[in-house]
Amino acid sequence: MVKKKDYTNGLPDPSKLKEEILAKYPRKVARKRDKAMVVNDPGVDQEILANVRTIPGIITQRGCTYAGCKGVVLGPTRDIVNIVHGPIGCSFYAWLTRRNQTRPATETDANYIPYTFSTDMQDENIVFGGEVKLKEAIREAYELFNPGAIAIFSTCPVGLIGDDVHAVAREMKAELGINCFGFSCEGYRGVSQSAGHHIANNQLYKHILGTDDRARMGKFQVNLLGEYNIGGDAFEIEALFEEAGITLLSTFSGNSTVESMAYAHTADLNMVMCHRSINYIAEMMETKFGIPWIKVNFVGAKSAAKSLKKIAEFFGDAELTAKVDAIVAREMAKVEAVREAIKPKVEGKVAMMFVGGSRAHHYQDLFGELGIQVVSAGYEFAHRDDYEGRKVIPNIKIDADTRNIEDLDVEKDDVRFRNDLAAKKAELMEAGYKFSDYEGMMPDMKKNSLVIDDVNHWETEKLIEFYQPDLFCAGIKEKYVVQKYGVPLKQLHNYDYGGPYTCFEGAINFYQEMQRMLDTKIWKLVDAPWKREPEIVGSMTIEA
């Protein structure tokens, strides 16, 4: 049996590992991948190459622009019919694979999430155009379900043949008298699903946000941005808000409705969970309506407690603060009892995680609570600010791929702009309270941890050989190869049918699941076929 590596005295310098990985690539490819791999030093400002196109031929974990738009941002919204204009495979890919849960208030409330809507484009539509078929699909969906809103999502063939989903949306909006709008989110439009997030944010801002000026619904009104209710995560957060007396107007977009998004602009505060997918909406809402935003994290018990207290601090209400403190004290006592029982069984284990959104960062807090070391991490679709912090945004170059995405001209709404919130923000900032701030993942990672953007299959194999991890966190594409190495893999995209993992009950769920995964002996019995069969090793001889 291979002796496990000891990381108690710090992580080893992975520079040699990085050199070995890069040596396999052609010279031009190696130069590019070199910039996307950083031997981390939290005390130094380091630049990483991110949000660039994946090198052709490399097995990437990424999804496409359409997946980010439809599957991530709009997928969890229950009262809108999301019609995919394209082949049926695209619809199936973005339908329920992320395990977005929802909970309608009554049995009669609209919930279209269980359905998948598609124009099911065939060869004939590719040749002669699919706009007629799209109109027929919209009419049929309206006749069957009578929704208040219909969204149309473009897939790759639509962009290639030139179908105008926006013109169709305008025509059908006039014909049916409902909100109907489209997304130019063809899969190839951006470098990854990140482009789809941006496109979704833009269209939600243009067609939904601010269309319902309803009266106040509570004393402390907030929106939660970038929480998608995987495995019921949003339910845990909602329950805590309700107990504390905080009115959650809208979530973008876990357990959400477009009805609630329409009056989200009446909130007092926006909270951003997944920085990458939703910071656009947060910025636009502050510019137009004066609603400040803060970065929060409800993954991890200590992080959840910190976020709740930061919300209470913003409102500065003694009763709210007392309620939050009581909730935190009660729940942390439960969490600590479970943590103390489980931590000795998993402490010192080694984990790696390569997932999307902010999860590769957020889940390090949960691992830290159990004493599990994260030796390497990275994102599928991050930008530099997700790694290095928002301070680098002014220095990020605008490239051709970024120009594919519409840049909205957002202006202040002189009538509905919240001057009181702008004044409150200025006062709190003077006292040291942080708004519109995210320091990124790299400053929170240990020295000599290896940070990799858009990790591929070859790099994954070398990481496993070098670090000998006890746990690998990623997605379905990597799951079975990693497990054949004798390393358990936890999907942090859909939780492997587990969860929730947010807040205090979620932390307990995660602790218990880590004990089950890491305390079992079964993985040591795995004998991967490539360990006993001849291996064919290829080499790249063409310099590019």
| List of E strands, 130-178 | 149-154
DSSP of 283-324: HHHHHHH---EEE---BSHHHHHHHHHHHHHHHT-HHHHHHH
Beta bridge partners of 152: 83, 182
According to DSSP, the β-strands at 247-253 and 293-295 are: unpaired
Distances (CA, A) of 243 to 247, 271, 299, 485: 10, 18, 19, 45
Catalytic residues: 64, 67, 98, 197
CA-based end-to-end distance of the chain: 41
Distances (CA, A) of 259 to 37, 212, 228, 253, 269: 43, 8, 17, 12, 19
Residue 248: which region, alpha, beta or left (left: phi > 0; alpha: psi -120 to 50)?
Answer: beta
Compute the distance between CA of residue 372 and CA of residue 482 in angstroms, rounded to an integer: 19
Compute the distance between CA of residue 300 and CA of residue 358 in angstroms, rounded to an integer: 13
Distances (CA, A) of 125 to 41, 85, 116, 150, 181: 53, 11, 20, 21, 21
Q: Which two tokens mark 460?
A: 């994954």
Compute the distance between CA of residue 383 and CA of residue 339 in angstroms, rounded to an integer: 34
Alpha-carbon Rg for the chain, nearest whole angstrom, is 24
